[in-house]
Amino acid sequence: MEKMITGEQHKSIWIFNDQNGFILGRITHIEPKAVIVQLNNNNNNQMFVMPNTICQTEEYDKYMNDNNAPIYFDEAALLNNLHRLYQKDQIYVYIGDGLITFNPYKQLLELYSSKTLKRYNENSFGIIPPHVFAIGDKAYRNMCTTKQNQSIVVTGESGAGKTESAKYVLQYLSKSYDACNASIKGRLKNSNLLLEAFGNAKTIHNNNSSRFGEIMEVHFDEEYTIVGGNITYYLFEKTRVCVQSTDEKNFHIFYYLCVDASARIRKSLQLNSPDTYHYLNQDCSQTKQLTKSYPQDTDFKCEQLVSNLELNDTNGFIKYDQIMNDIGISQEDKLNIYSILAGILHLGNINFEDDSESTQNGCKIISTSEQALIMTAQMLHVGVHDLRNVLLERISMMENTIISVPLTVHEAEHVRDKLAKTIYARLFNQLVVYVNTSISFKSSTSHISIIDTIGFENCPINSFEQICINYCDEKIQQIFNEHLVETARLLFQEEGIGLNKIDYIDNQDCINLFEDQITGWFHLLDEESNVTERQSNQSTHDIFHGNPNHSMIPPKLDLPAASIIHHNEVFVVEHYSGNAVYSTSEFIDKNNDILLDSFIIFVRKSKNEFVKNLFDEIFVEQFKDKINYLSVGTKVRSEMTDVINKVKRSVVHFITCIKPNVKMIPNEFQKDQIRSQLKTLGFASILSFIEEVQQKIRKRECRVRKAQIN
Ligand SMILES: Nc1ncnc2c1ncn2[C@@H]1O[C@H](COP(=O)(O)OP(=O)(O)OP(=O)(O)O)[C@@H](O)[C@H]1O
């Protein structure tokens, strides 16, 4: 967009500099092609700048809650405004009709008190300062007046505060509109807490990171009082059960059980310290946690905040045990759940070695793992012999003959981990069933969905899990874009300005790259499931070559020197939020995720009904139906289609969470970190809309004035 320099001399302006972000200065001289600016720094340096690096500012020492209000509204004004608000612990601002939240990294109790909640109850949107409660209130009022379902979509990077925001919306709704049924309020809250214990984990970005996407529906009756809820989830990260990256941990519940369960329970489950389990001690076990417990990518403001954010493994169990009681899980089922968790931990401690007596490169369980084998069998209520067989052999049927093929050490480890992951994922699913039963309702007239999304993930080298997450993120972003266009259209209409072509970052090309019926990545991956990964990777590159939108670019990468990944095993996708490098390693296997028949037979042989029912008939049928079998990629796509359809059928509200670098030296806020998050989240487009509207208004006012003078 063309910059207008209306600045007379001595006017305050922002200039952009790659190193320092936006710096405040004063115009001392305007030349035909450049402007001389004196910087407001200690040395009062002067510099020549090009007009297009200047952002105008008028009242830079004032701040406003509503970002639509400043006279000069550009990136610098926005960032400056956000910075000033943040310094005053004002973590909420509106841009357009959406809410932006900044993680305060500290408890702001008054911000969420009953008094505050009441104020938002009593005032319509926009009358009092921006707040997450106001979004809940807006959705509620909208639902009551339009009788349409509402969706509140919460987006942002990991650790930015999505789950916290979602919880505050839920708190607002349940405290405000649940007068008759106090128990539902408690159950809704407990449902979230319980799923956090089983589905959240410490990552390098967040000590309490949700490892699944969640849609929490809050249902209302014809009087618009809450009657219950329903939770669905997508993309549960089950691989975390077996493998965690450096400085990350397994799901919280494992540590609570090992550290905090009563001595009686731990004895009955034969549990020791987390350090003794392979699935818990890979890099960040309990003992190390005491010194290394805060997110690596965040500089905290002070020591006190570090402790605020620490997750204490030593006071979790009793709380969650009580929540399970409150939700209606019987004592017997609770013990079954603990037994399965212990079984998974013991299973992870089973190790293998080559069997010199095997003629087919088979392996055996090492003698020091025999105890773990016995414990696992005991916890899952299966025979030791059956467990040994399922881990060491692949059984298949061929023309009515049972064939047994011994597994290598690597294959046996793979089977062990797959068994652990599958059982845990089924257990998580069962917990969602419990939770939904506890918040179930007979009938409802409308609902508000709170969608706690999984944000874009970009590691140095990404895997199948990240590509699925990032595909979902693209789909959510597309909804955001569509919403943005609609907002802009209304804004233009309100101002009586003709609608030009709306210029925004359209990510349809990238989505096509995944979804195209013939050349789409999901389809291709399913097609390739019978060929080797190397061939699949080649096909991935073929997509790129045939693809005019260049969303997939060839791998010309500077891979880390120690990387064992070859160039021909990686590809790059240009996401709206940046380029992500993916390694095709294990893509096919992770996409197929076929459960061996022997697994099903094995678990179904358990003498414990709870364990047996984890692999219930519907679930088993899906796996038996080899023809209609859905790959993981196809399931992700269909889950996401459901989410998007739900959102599209409702009125949508956006909450965008930002994670500031809390070092917060002046201007720091305005540097790349926040800029890139805003850009990533699509605000570049909002800014340009608002700027365009304002320019048009200014031009129109000029014309009106001129006409009046004439
Ligand atoms: N409004 C807030 N008030 C106080 N603390 C907050 C707030 N928002 C976020 N935090 C702090 O930041 C942490 C991370 O927030 P949260 O778990 O909501 O992030 P997230 O975006 O959901 O991350 P992920 O995608 O990894 O699940 C919280 O545990 C909390 O300590």
Mean pLDDT of 283-297: 42
Q: What is the pLDDT of residue 291?
A: 37
Asked which of 324, 343, 376 is the last residue of a domain, the reply is: 324
Span from the CA of 573 to the centroid of ligand 1 (angstroms)? 28
Same domain, 283 and 172: no
Spatial separation of the C-alpha atoms in residues 407 and 361, rounded to whole Å: 7
Alpha-carbon torsion (614, 615, 621, 627), positive or negative: positive
b (16+ CB within 10 A) / e for 480-499: bbebbbebbeebbeeeeeee
Structure tokens at 195: 């799923």
Q: In this structure, are 412 and 554 located in the same domain?
A: no
CATH number assigned to the domain comprising residue 134: 3.40.850.10
Confidence of residue 703 (pLDDT cuts 50, 70, 90): low
Q: Which atom of ligand 1 is nearest to the CA of 454?
A: 25
Split into its structural domains, the chain has a count of 5
Task: Give every CB contact of residue 325 below 8 A, 6+ residues apart in sequence.
Answer: 334
Look at residue 171 in the predicted model and tell me its pLDDT.
92
Q: Which residue, 27, 49, 30, is CA-closest to 38?
A: 27
Distance from the CA of 84 to the center of ligand 1, in angstroms? Answer: 21
Number of other CB atoms surrounding residue 98 within 10 Å: 23
Which of 324, 347, 376 terminates a domain? The answer is 324
Contact 161, 100 (CB under 8 A): no
Check residues 612 and 312 and name the one with the higher pLDDT.
612
Within a domain: 40: yes
One domain for residues 102 and 183: yes
Residue 201 annotated in ligand binding? no
Is 156 annotated as a binding-site member?
yes
Residue nearest to atom 9 of ligand 1 (CA): 161
Share of the chain above pLDDT 90, in %: 37
User: Computed from CA positions of residues 412, 416, 419, 422, in that sequence, does the dihedral angle turn out positive or negative?
Assistant: negative
Which one, of 419, 386, 415, 392, lies nearest residue 404 by Cα? 392
**Looking at 163-206, which runs of residues are DSSP E strands?**
200-201
**Which pLDDT does position 306 carry in this prediction?**
33
Which residues are bridge partners to 21 per DSSP?
17
113 is in an annotated binding site: no
539 assigned ligand-binding residue: no
Domain for residue 53, yes or no? yes
What mean pLDDT is reported for the chain? Answer: 78
Closest listed residue to residue 473, CA positions, set 450, 452, 460, 455: 455
ipTM value greater than 0.90: yes
Residue 687 placed within a domain: yes
**259 residue type, one letter:** V
Tell me how far the alpha carbon of residue 179 lies from the centroid of ligand 1, in angstroms: 28
Query: Ligand 1 center to residue 322 CA distance, Å?
Result: 24
Residues 423 and 537 in one domain: no
CA quadruple 293, 421, 198, 631: dihedral, nearest 10: 110
Distance from the alpha carbon of residue 65 to the mean position of ligand 1, in angstroms: 22
CATH, residue 553: 1.20.58.530
Atom of ligand 1 nearest to the CA of 455: 25
Residue-number span of the structural domain to which 154 is assigned: 75-240+441-459+652-668
Q: Is residue 301 part of a domain?
A: yes
Give the nearest ligand 1 atom to 206 CA: 26
Q: What is the DSSP-derived secondary structure letter of residue 245?
A: -
Residue 657's contacts (CB-CB under 8 Å, 6 or more residues apart) are 100, 101, 102, 103, 154, 155, 156, 157, 160, 161, 162, 165
Ligand 1 center to 286 CA (angstroms): 22
- Whether the per-residue pLDDT at 348 is higher than 90: the answer is yes
The residue whose CA has the least distance to atom 16 of ligand 1 is 161
Phi and psi at 19, nearest 5°, equal -80, -40
Q: How many helices (H) and strands (E) does the chain have?
A: 25, 21
- On whether 160 is known to bind a ligand per the annotation, the reply is yes
CA of 650 to the centre of ligand 1 (A): 26
Is 31 annotated to bind a ligand? Reply is no
First to last CA, the chain: 30
Domain CATH code at residue 357: 1.20.120.720
The CATH code of the domain that includes 293 is 1.10.10.820
Q: What is the pLDDT of residues 620-643, one digit of tens each?
A: 666 556 556 678 888 899 999 999
131, 133, 163: residue to mutate for ligand 1 pocket, most atoms within 8 A of CB: 163
C-alpha–C-alpha distance, residues 57 and 25, integer Å: 10
Comparison of pLDDT for 416 and 509, the residue scoring more: 416
**Residue 552, domain member (yes or no):** yes
Question: Above 50 in pLDDT, residue 288?
Answer: no
CA–CA dist 78, 64 (Å, integer): 10
Model pLDDT, residue 64: 54
Tell me whether residue 605 is annotated as binding. Answer: no
User: Does residue 230 register a pLDDT over 80?
Assistant: yes
Judging by beta carbons within 10 Å of its beta carbon (0-12, 13-18, 19+), is residue 545 exposed, middle or buried? exposed
Residues 227 and 89 in one domain: yes
Q: Are residues 576 and 546 both part of a single domain?
A: yes
Task: Check the annotation: does 163 bind a ligand.
Answer: yes
Alpha carbons 535 and 322: distance in angstroms, whole number: 52
Q: Do 109 and 21 reside in the same domain of the chain?
A: no
Q: What is the pLDDT of residues 660-686, one digit of tens each?
A: 765 444 454 444 555 556 655 555 555
197 and 48, same structural domain? no
Count how many Cα atoms sit within 13 Å of the Cα of residue 514 in the half-sphere of its side chain.
25
CA of 129 to the centre of ligand 1 (A): 21
Residues 63, 191, single domain; the answer is no
Give strand pairing partners of 27: 37
CA of 245 to the centre of ligand 1 (A): 20
Helical (H) or strand (E) element with 333: helix 331-348
Question: For the segment 293-344, what is each residue's pLDDT rounded down to a tens digit?
Answer: 334 333 333 233 333 334 555 567 888 999 999 999 999 999 999 999 999 9
**Residue 299 CA neighbour count, 13 Å, CB half:** 8
SS3 77: helix
For 93-133, the pLDDT digits (tens) are 887 678 889 888 888 888 999 999 999 999 888 888 899 99
Q: Which atom of ligand 1 is nearest to the CA of 452?
A: 22
Q: Hey, CA dihedral for 641, 646, 647, 649, is it positive or negative? A: positive
In this structure, the residue with its CA closest to atom 29 of ligand 1 is: 208
Q: Is residue 329 part of a domain?
A: no
Choose which residue among 99, 193, 208, 294 to substitute to test ligand 1 binding: the one with the highest number of ligand atoms within 8 A of its C-beta: 208
Nearest CA owner, ligand 1 atom 15: 161
| Å from CA of 298 to ligand 1 middle | 12
CB 202 within 8 A of CB 208: yes
Predicted pLDDT at 146: 94
148 CA to middle of ligand 1, Å? Answer: 30
> Which one is predicted more confidently, 582 or 199?
199
Check residues 664 and 196 and name the one with the higher pLDDT: 196
**Token representation of residue 410:** 């690597």
> What letter represents residue 531's amino acid?
V
The pick from 103, 108, 203, 662 for probing ligand 1's pocket by mutation, whose C-beta has the most ligand atoms within 8 angstroms, reads 103
Ligand 1 pocket mutation pick from 206, 312, 459 by most atoms within 8 angstroms of CB:
206
The pair of structure tokens assigned to 27 is: 């115009």
Ligand 1 pocket at CB < 6 A: 103-104, 107-108, 156, 158-164, 205-206, 208-210, 309, 455, 657
Residue bearing the CA closest to ligand 1, atom 11: 105
> Do residues 157 and 206 share a domain?
yes
Question: Are 98 and 195 in the same domain?
Answer: yes
Domain boundary among 297, 324, 351: 324
Res. 444 pLDDT band, cuts 50 70 90 = very high
Contact 583, 570 (CB under 8 A): yes
Q: Do 259 and 130 have their domain in common? A: no
Residue that the structure tokens 């089983």 belong to:
198
Per residue, what are the HEC states of 460-492? CCECHHHHHHHHHHHHHHHHHHHHHHHHHHHHH
